[in-house]
Structure 1
Amino acid sequence: MDNLRLLAVVSGCVWLSGCGGDSQERFGGPTMGSTYSIQYVRTTSAPQPKELQRQVESILSEVDRQMSTYRDDSDIERFNNLPANSCQPVPAPVLHLVRTGEQLSQASDGAFDLTVEPLLNLWGFGPQAREVKVPEAATLAQVRQRVGHQHLRIEGDQLCKDAAVEVDFNSIAAGYAVDRIAERLTELGIHRYLVEATGELKAAGRKLDGSPWRIALEEPRDDQQVAEKIIDVDGFGVSTSGDYRNYFQQDGRRYSHTLDARTGAPITHQLASVTVLHPSALMADGLSTLLLVLGPQQGWDYAEQHRIAAFFVMRDGAGFVTRSNEAFEVLTSVKP
């Protein structure tokens, strides 16, 4: 996914024992072109770690099979390959994410849009990209005709389009997967966990020793990993979106992979990254991208208006300045 990796501050042990037979377990592996990791406190009634890993990887495989733009046989890529004025039956989770994308698109006046895949390919950042370069104005104008959430509609269990749009779930699919895994853990009686998939996170409860799950937010640098801020997480998802690590330079200008659907071009403002905390990892995932696209002032105003817990990192010369709102500070304040 396009979001940045958040660093979990954890013990180096993969298994810890506690009172009453409880233990702290950890497992992980590859997923969706990146990795996932699960840490949790296992009670004696919970499934064995290998069985739980099987269930988690089943969820991740389902998400990849339905929503990946990097495999031709996924549900969304089969839809993307259809011409204009076509419909295709798709699974309910795909429709759920389309509706979420519509909500975010309308809320941002079109700055956030799930149909930017043709633009990503044109600028060299998408799954079908051929060359990383600034496109010709005429070509950009032509491709923009194939972008816009208004070209999508849902009819029953079918997703339809009136233009040759292509849907890209990379800004929300990982958050959705994290929510699905967290829900499954809760169903199995596991209420103390840290779930991470491709950098999206959700945590609940505390570790076996009673300490909180702690997350290090990275400084937006492309040369090394440096912790900008460390927060305690309990009961919410965490997502950071940034304009670095995936970019190119041409004629002395820097072009990020984060596109503003309203202009069809990469963002050019000084907001380098945004971290959002939200009870839903799906919404944290989408909102972090939305705020990043809107920029340092418009994004800040949007977060304040909608009471979104957000942490902004802006470029300032050769360094960075940070800004967090009251909603963010309340959620990350030290608790006994």
Structure 2
Amino acid sequence: MLSGAAQGTTWHVSVWSNSTIDTNDLQEKIEAEFQRIDKMMSNYRPDSVIEQFNRNQNHLAIEVGEEIVNLVNIARQVSQATDGCYDLTVRPLFDLWGFSKDVFNAPSETDIQNVIKKIGLNYLVSPTQTTLLKKTARIKC
């Protein structure tokens, strides 16, 4: 069994095969893939692509890569299929409640409603296959 840590949790892979597998090589490839994904989409790494996008305060299209744009498009489909129950842009609500900093805070109903008015996938646009654009600076993924 192969295992490791990634994205704040652990992973385990069991391999069954009739041929010989270089488990050290497989372990390295799995870890490299997790590191690639983490560098692209981690909300806990200030240098990740998505966090650089989140910090952007202007209304210009930002290069994020085709993989992230594809995931945003899938998120749109899931949001539509769930009548909006899934929303990729709820990060400002997480921040309001303090989940991002592990300092939990029950905000007022007014604060919650003010944030809800400023989130939503309708504020996130994919002008090209590799860029995202914010219609409002507060949008975060």
Do Structure 1 and Structure 2 share a fold, with TM-score over 0.5?
Answer: yes
Which residue, out of 31, 39, 43, partners 2:18?
Answer: 43
Structure-2 residue corresponding to 1:31? 6
Structure-2 residue corresponding to 1:160? 133
The 3 A distance-change label for structure 1 pair 86 and 145 is farther
Q: CA deviation at 1:86?
A: 2.9
Q: CA deviation at 1:83?
A: 1.4
Taking CA–CA contacts closer than 8 Å with sequence separation of 6 or more, which of the two structures ends up with the larger relative contact order? 2
Distance (whole Å) between structure 2 residues aligned to residue 137 and residue 84 of structure 1: 28
Distance (whole Å) between structure 2 residues aligned to residue 75 and residue 87 of structure 1: 13
Structure-1 residue corresponding to 2:40? 66
Structure-2 residue corresponding to 1:151? 123
Which residue, out of 105, 110, 131, partners 1:138?
Answer: 110
Query: Contact conserved, 2:124 with 2:135, CA < 8 A, in 1?
Result: yes
> Matched residue of 2:45: which SS?
coil
Q: CA deviation at 1:85?
A: 1.6
Query: Contact conserved, 1:66 with 1:91, CA < 8 A, in 2?
Result: no
Runs of 4+ aligned residues of structure 1 deviating over 4 Å after TM superposition are: none
Q: CA deviation at 1:118?
A: 0.6
2:61 aligned with 1:87: yes
Quick one: which amino acid aligns to residue 76 of structure 2?
E
Which residue, out of 26, 32, 39, partners 1:52?
Answer: 26
State the Cα RMSD in Å. Answer: 1.5
Query: Contact conserved, 2:66 with 2:131, CA < 8 A, in 1?
Result: no
2:76 aligned with 1:102: yes
Deviations 1:189-231 (A, max 9, x none): xxxxxxxxxxxxxxxxxxxxxxxxxxxxxxxxxxxxxxxxxxx
Distance (whole Å) between structure 2 residues aligned to residue 148 and residue 70 of structure 1: 21
Query: Contact conserved, 2:3 with 2:13, CA < 8 A, in 1?
Result: yes
- The unaligned stretches of length 5 or more in structure 2 are none
Q: CA deviation at 1:90?
A: 1.0
Query: Contact conserved, 1:151 with 1:165, CA < 8 A, in 2?
Result: yes
Which residue, out of 49, 57, 70, partners 1:75?
Answer: 49
> Matched residue of 2:61: which SS?
strand
- The unaligned stretches of length 5 or more in structure 1 are 1-25, 168-336
Q: CA deviation at 1:128?
A: 4.0
> Matched residue of 1:35: which SS?
strand
More helix by share: 2
Distance (whole Å) between structure 1 residues aligned to residue 139 and residue 121 of structure 2: 9
Deviations 1:59-95 (A, max 9, x none): 1111111111011000101000111523211122211
Count of residues in Structure 1 that have an aligned counterpart in Structure 2: 139
Quick one: which amino acid aligns to residue 64 of structure 2?
V
> Matched residue of 1:86: which SS?
coil
